[in-house]
């Protein structure tokens, strides 16, 4: 969101956050619970890490019909107010937290989901996590045929495709629409009586099913959001599956798309998902700890301390410490109350962005050879500043160990990634990156090592990769049609 006042400068977004991949979006839905919107608000709060720009909730009440609220900012600042939640009655509701990956960047209320459409057989709302890679072509076609778009979001294409479908009911119209869509989508939608969940045939983005006491059912991007409302985790929605849920009939499942080999986003394991979530039956925390174990095996170094770059590097640092035998220490402390700071944004103050967020534990670091463990290196700006802070505190040596392979390619499936020439690994070798960051050593986990950490004992299957790892390998499971039209060049076949 843009500053509300020129002195109200958001350091959390202005500086080092530009050096991280942005967490796509989060979706959540509930059916069969009184005041379902309250459950959705709690679920969205648990999914806040997946999108901090804005959030929205649509609910349906048999007497009042559909109601919606869309707001900028955090869930806690909007959807905890009784005056707002009272406007969202009913036993059925869906919600969405957003970080813009397509459409206008920043605060544009018309781009905030869920989107709502009124059809001949009744209204429907839709919340989408992912990215449609042929959205430009679809949008052009739909506009030429008379569709009037209200937002710049790729997700709105689905509503217009549904409106033009000749199928008999809304779930069938959604199936019809999604057959035209390319890319990644995990969708939570609702009609007057039904909660609907769909994953694309590759299962790139996550979606899980949960059960509330009584007749209530839940759909969520992650299992951690089920925990906050006391819902029981049932299973993942399978790639290419559509579930239609009612309080009366429970879950009805079908597979409207051609079956394909799953290509779930491997970066969900590395960074996007909360460490207390479960993916594919595996604890995200345990996977990240195992990444650290693999890193220590692949790239050992003689040092005195293993320190995480908070908070995403913590589990991997613990694993590195356990495998290497080098003591783990909190050498960098995060300011938990970091937020918007009322200081004039001069250049000297702007450059303090990282220090406002992170501070070095000087007494611990001084004179030590330090291994810093972080989840990724994107542009490299944050890594350089953290290195400088560690050296300023008196460290003897600084060694970086990165819990993902080099990020050398942009993601087109729901992650906000810089252009390829802005990615450090796209223009530099590992040694050149080490020199650029001016550290004593720099090592990334190998792609095979990452696959072993997520449970693939034999590593990556080069002929048929088990995950989507395009940001590391440049091998896109779905061609990004719109980007290719704009001139993006795919990796040449080896």
CB 244 within 8 A of CB 257: no
For residue 10, the tally of other CB atoms under 10 A from its CB is: 17
Known catalytic membership, residue 25: yes
Euclidean distance between the first and final Cα of the chain, in Å?
42
Q: Measured at the alpha carbon of residue 268, what is the angle toward residues 138 and 254, in degrees to the nearest 5?
A: 55
Q: Taking phi first (over 0 means left), then psi (-120 to 50 degrees means alpha), and beta for anything else, what does residue 331 get? A: alpha
Here the tokens at position 132 are 């449609």
Q: HSE on the CB side for 348, CA within 13 Å?
A: 0
**Which SS3 state, helix, strand or coil, does residue 177 take?**
helix
What is the rounded CA–CA span in Å between residue 165 and residue 132? 18
The tokens 């091998």 sit on which residue? 475
The tokens 């985790």 sit on which residue? 233
Q: Which of 72, 155, 48 is nearest to 414 (CA)?
A: 155
CA 289 centroid distance within chain: 20
Here the tokens at position 444 are 């990334």
Catalytic residue among 25, 157, 411, 468: 25
User: Hey, which residues are catalytic here?
Assistant: 25
């Amino acid at each position: 969101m843009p500053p509300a006042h020129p002195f109200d400068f958001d350091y959390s977004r202005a500086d080092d956050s530009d050096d991280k991949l942005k967490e796509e979006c989060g979706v959540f839905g509930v059916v069969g619970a009184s005041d379902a919107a309250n459950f959705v608000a709690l679920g969205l709060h648990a999914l806040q890490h997946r999108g901090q720009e804005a959030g929205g909730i649509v609910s349906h009440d048999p007497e009042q019909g559909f109601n919606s609220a869309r707001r900028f900012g955090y869930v806690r600042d909007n959807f905890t107010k009784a005056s707002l939640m009272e406007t969202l009655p009913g036993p059925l509701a869906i919600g969405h937290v957003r970080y813009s990956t397509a459409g206008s960047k920043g605060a544009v209320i018309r781009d905030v989901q869920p989107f709502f459409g009124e059809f001949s057989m009744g209204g429907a709302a839709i919340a989408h996590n992912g990215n449609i890679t042929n959205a430009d072509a679809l949008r052009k076609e739909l506009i030429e045929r008379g569709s009037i778009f209200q937002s710049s979001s790729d997700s709105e294409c689905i509503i217009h495709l549904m409106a033009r479908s000749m199928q008999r009911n809304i779930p069938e119209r959604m199936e019809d629409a999604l057959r035209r869509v390319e890319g990644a989508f995990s969708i939570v939608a609702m009609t007057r009586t039904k909660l609907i969940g769909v994953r694309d045939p590759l299962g790139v983005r996550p979606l899980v099913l949960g059960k509330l006491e009584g007749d209530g059912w839940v759909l969520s991007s992650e299992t951690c959001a089920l925990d906050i409302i006391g819902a029981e985790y049932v299973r993942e929605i399978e790639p290419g599956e559509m579930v239609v849920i009612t309080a009366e009939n429970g879950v009805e499942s079908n597979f409207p798309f051609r079956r394909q080999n799953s290509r779930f986003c491997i970066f969900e394991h590395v960074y996007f998902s909360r460490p207390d979530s479960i993916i594919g039956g595996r604890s995200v925390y345990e996977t990240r700890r195992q990444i650290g174990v693999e890193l220590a095996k692949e790239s050992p170094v003689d040092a005195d301390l293993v320190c995480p770059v908070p908070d995403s590097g913590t589990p991997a640092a613990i694993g590195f410490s356990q495998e290497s035998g080098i003591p783990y220490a909190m050498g960098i402390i995060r300011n938990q109350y970091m937020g918007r700071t009322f200081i004039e944004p001069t250049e000297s103050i702007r450059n303090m962005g990282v220090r406002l967020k992170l501070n070095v534990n000087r007494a611990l670091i001084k004179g030590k050879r330090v291994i810093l463990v972080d989840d990724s290196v994107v542009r490299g700006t944050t890594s350089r500043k953290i290195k400088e802070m560690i050296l300023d505190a008196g460290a003897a040596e600084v060694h970086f160990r990165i819990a993902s392979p080099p990020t050398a390619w942009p993601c087109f499936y729901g992650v906000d990634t810089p252009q390829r020439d802005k990615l450090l690994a796209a223009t530099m070798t590992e040694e050149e990156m080490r020199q650029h960051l001016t550290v004593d050593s720099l090592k990334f986990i190998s792609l095979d090592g990452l696959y072993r950490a997520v449970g693939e004992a034999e590593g990556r299957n080069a002929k048929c990769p088990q995950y989507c790892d395009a940001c590391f390998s440049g091998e896109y499971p779905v061609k990004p049609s719109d980007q290719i039209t704009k001139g993006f060049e795919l990796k040449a076949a080896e």
